[in-house]
Amino acid sequence: MLADIITLFPEVVNVPLGSSIMGRARDKGLFQFRVHDLREQGMGKYRQVDDEPYGGGPGMVLRPEPIFATLEPLRTPQSRVLLMTPQGKPFKQEDAVRLSKEEHLIFLCGHYEGVDQRIVESCVDEELSLGDYVLTNGAIAAAVMIDAIVRLLPGVLGDDESAVQESFGESGLLDHPHYTRPAEWRGIKVPDILLSGDHGKIAKWRKEQALERTKANRPDLLEGK
């Protein structure tokens, strides 16, 4: 998979996508990313990329010309252009799964009051948001979404089954509690069933715990089930 990220803040994505699992995936050739500084296509002496909104109002809006000049050479028939914006559809695990099957993703990172609507209408395939809150820039959202997508690619994780068994996996439930050594820490013991060696009972316990955790923390995930 290839990901192109268009942003005013390249450093926001370069570090997380070059580290840990993402970095190893890149080293193994499973994933490649390119970061494009939007200001390189800025206009005039000061490389301007934004301007005041027509009709008045606070803030600035990203102009269409620098975005198009950066985006258009990257696009191919296989590309899918994603705009990071608070106005977008909430990004969910099912979106990560769906997008992990794409060959080429282009992440357009909004900033200021957003991007000129003409870019949205003519160049963007999908508008996505991390949630019901506003970030300082879309590059943060892009880094998070790319991480969620790339870790689903075959060979990226040491055990491909772990991507299925985690929260929001095939069950649609939150993940169950996890424990490791020591068996007792500060007077708190690991549940006896996990030490029993009975894999059938352990699987049943984990499913029950996942259901209870989902009821407590994310009851919305159970709606319609």
Residues in the annotated binding site = 110, 130-135
For tokens 């095939």, name the residue: 170
Which segments are annotated as binding site for S-adenosyl-L-methionine? 110, 130-135
For tokens 């969910």, name the residue: 92
User: Cβ atoms within 10 A of the Cβ of 206, count?
Assistant: 17
Report the SS3 class of residue 1: coil
88 in Cβ contact with 34 (< 8 Å):
no
210 in Cβ contact with 173 (< 8 Å):
yes
Distance CA 114, CA 137 (A): 9
DSSP structure class, residue 40: G
